Chain A
């Protein structure tokens, strides 16, 4: 056990810090979220700069354009990016979900076609999993994939798809065999978002912004060579995607929370530094953040040693989402009488945080996962 950076990690951290200082324009720091920010061409340029400097796909194999670095480097990258309040790479879905799934299940041709372009932000990806009647229950998807010779014809609707309005490609799970038993009729494919018959409509959320979209598919033809895995194996392939969604998330989340906590400490120092009750609540948030950070470190070491995400990591997203809701609400409260005004930051963050316990696995589903897979309690369904 040694919680300090190794010499290699320390060198990487200081290089990265210097690179961020030199390359990130001051006015681009402290972005507040919202996927429509990516309409600004700066973010593709920034992502390309990350790629050219070797910071995109740190843990990906070198043969696919990555750096082949250990997971601790990715954790350091996320920590330092958050501390510099740097924008993330625009290819969030590609880097975290599509890429790892293509690596695990794709053919060599598919890997060559897409992986490097994901890193360089030449290809932006989105995800088509959720549907109006299939949220937490992914196996209930109804988007039809009908095989006609060398193509699948797609009809249906996807929802809650981040980045779909700017995406080049979509990873999608649909129903290829309605007669098959549950889980067995699903197929996973990569869909070119420029195919005829696709319509994307942004969804406006409670913050007033649009990060998510609905995608409508009407007789969209997808070549059979775009399947990931075999026909009927969609469920297994989707599980890889979701494992990565949760597996790579912890550090990004706690790093983001650290930025929020930094703001909370500023407000507390300015406004309520003599108030014992407020100090107690701020201290609790600080303690809870350290608990998350060190839980991520433990999960990381387990992952590096065994190659399998440890059970301790399963609480990261659940507890982060609840803490972010509590912390952003406290931030507004500490503003006192001014908390009634839309300050442009706390108000936005607090509203945005309400989505945190819903997106990427609702808290209810995550508690089921912990109960069934970690605590080995009998299944509730």
Chain B
């Protein structure tokens, strides 16, 4: 039993935190056109983390990708990384994988009739085939992650298959990152904002709300890492672990943002403060690819057996 990152993995986490903080700071131009620096991600090797070395990747595992999903969530990275690496990679053959690792092709996938980032990717996976990314985009709860309806042209069948636990574990990790950021912002505010002559963090109504978020984040993180490990080694518990992790972590992220907005007072309710951006990402992760209630129904099937019709 060893449930911790290796030195190398911890180093990757530190590096990702640092690079993303510099490249995607909180005071970025949120409302202008987003440059997602896809080339920068390719140069860092983040696009081919789990792709074999002879295909231009790093030949690592989903654990390293899980670390990046968490950090990309923490930084609220705007590009289609979740789509390309989290949703699509298991569908692709060697040539397509190599084109992902090099940064040449960006992908998304149709989930429940909707394609995230449809108009900022090159190709889309739908019904097991690859299509040109064409169609109409609609605003989603998270403006940095629009959802589109695919206009199907000629599709070419793909050799791989869907890996739902992998996609869900990726979203759970991203949600943990979002929740951690909301918590960190809340802590920072509670330490520095003074009212009645004291930092508001001395008041237990404030500090206990943040302590509750801390508990949610740590428990959600444990589930997200458990699910990621199951995915990485092909453990039989991957489906139920990933369903549990996505249900818990996305609810935790939504609640973490709500508590942080409350702790920030009026400031947290302004467009100017970045908190609402994280809140909207949390809501997106909560709603996309299996809502918590649907996921818990899957968990119930796994632990209780199929429902018996009421007689």
Cβ contact of B1, chosen from A287, A297, A367, A374, cutoff 8 A: A297
B219 touches A291 (CB 8 A): yes
Let me know if B23 is at the binding interface, CB within 8 A. no
Interface size class of A (residues with CB under 8 A): 35 or more
B1 touches A319 (CB 8 A): no
Shortest Cβ-Cβ A-B pairs, 5 listed: A371-B207, A294-B222, A291-B219, A377-B201, A279-B300
Query: Can you report 10 residue pairs joining A to B where beta carbons are below 8 Å apart?
Result: A1-B63, A1-B225, A265-B303, A276-B297, A283-B296, A295-B218, A298-B222, A315-B218, A315-B219, A379-B202
A378 touches B198 (CB 8 A): yes
Let me know if A280 is at the binding interface, CB within 8 A. yes
Instruction: Kindly list chain B residues whose C-beta atoms are within 8 Å of the C-beta of A275.
Output: 310
B218 touches A375 (CB 8 A): no
Chain A contacts with B in 278-308, Cβ cutoff 8 A = 279-280, 282-284, 286-288, 290-292, 294-295, 297-298, 300-302, 305
Instruction: Kindly list chain B residues whose C-beta atoms are within 8 Å of the C-beta of A379.
Output: 202
Interface size class of B (residues with CB under 8 A): 35 or more
A333 to B220, CA, bound (A): 27
B211 touches A370 (CB 8 A): yes
A380 to B200, CA, bound (A): 10
Instruction: Kindly list chain B residues whose C-beta atoms are within 8 Å of the C-beta of A276.
Output: 297, 307
Let me know if B20 is at the binding interface, CB within 8 A. no
Let me know if B6 is at the binding interface, CB within 8 A. yes
Cβ contact of A1, chosen from B5, B207, B218, B305, cutoff 8 A: B5
In the complex formed, the residue of A with least CB distance to B298 is A283
9-residue interface stretch from A2-10, A101-109, A155-163, A223-231: A2-10
CB distance from B57 to the nearest CB of A (A): 20
Instruction: Kindly list chain A residues whose C-beta atoms are within 8 Å of the C-beta of B304.
Output: 265, 268-269, 273, 279, 282-283
B6 touches A1 (CB 8 A): yes
Let me know if A312 is at the binding interface, CB within 8 A. yes
CB distance from A58 to the nearest CB of B (A): 14
CB distance from A179 to the nearest CB of B (A): 30
Task: Given A370-B215, A378-B198, verify A72-B305 contact (CB < 8 Å).
Answer: no
Instruction: Kindly list chain A residues whose C-beta atoms are within 8 Å of the C-beta of B199.
Output: 377-378
B293 touches A280 (CB 8 A): yes
CB distance from A337 to the nearest CB of B (A): 16
Let me know if B223 is at the binding interface, CB within 8 A. yes
Instruction: Kindly list chain A residues whose C-beta atoms are within 8 Å of the C-beta of B195.
Output: none
Let me know if B308 is at the binding interface, CB within 8 A. yes
A276 to B215, CA, bound (A): 28
Let me know if B4 is at the binding interface, CB within 8 A. yes
Instruction: Kindly list chain A residues whose C-beta atoms are within 8 Å of the C-beta of B6.
Output: 1
Let me know if A23 is at the binding interface, CB within 8 A. no
Chain B contacts with A in 209-252, Cβ cutoff 8 A = 210-212, 214-215, 218-223, 225-226, 229, 233, 235, 241, 244, 247-248
Contact with A along B122-150 (1 / 0, CB 8 A): 00000000000000000000000000000
B201 touches A273 (CB 8 A): no
Let me know if B271 is at the binding interface, CB within 8 A. no
B229 touches A1 (CB 8 A): yes
Cβ contact of A295, chosen from B212, B222, B247, B303, cutoff 8 A: B222
A35 to B10, CA, bound (A): 45
Chain A contacts with B in 213-258, Cβ cutoff 8 A = none
In the complex formed, the residue of B with least CB distance to A302 is B4
Instruction: Kindly list chain A residues whose C-beta atoms are within 8 Å of the C-beta of B223.
Output: 287, 290-291, 294
A284 touches B296 (CB 8 A): yes
Task: Given A269-B305, A380-B203, verify A282-B300 contact (CB < 8 Å).
Answer: yes
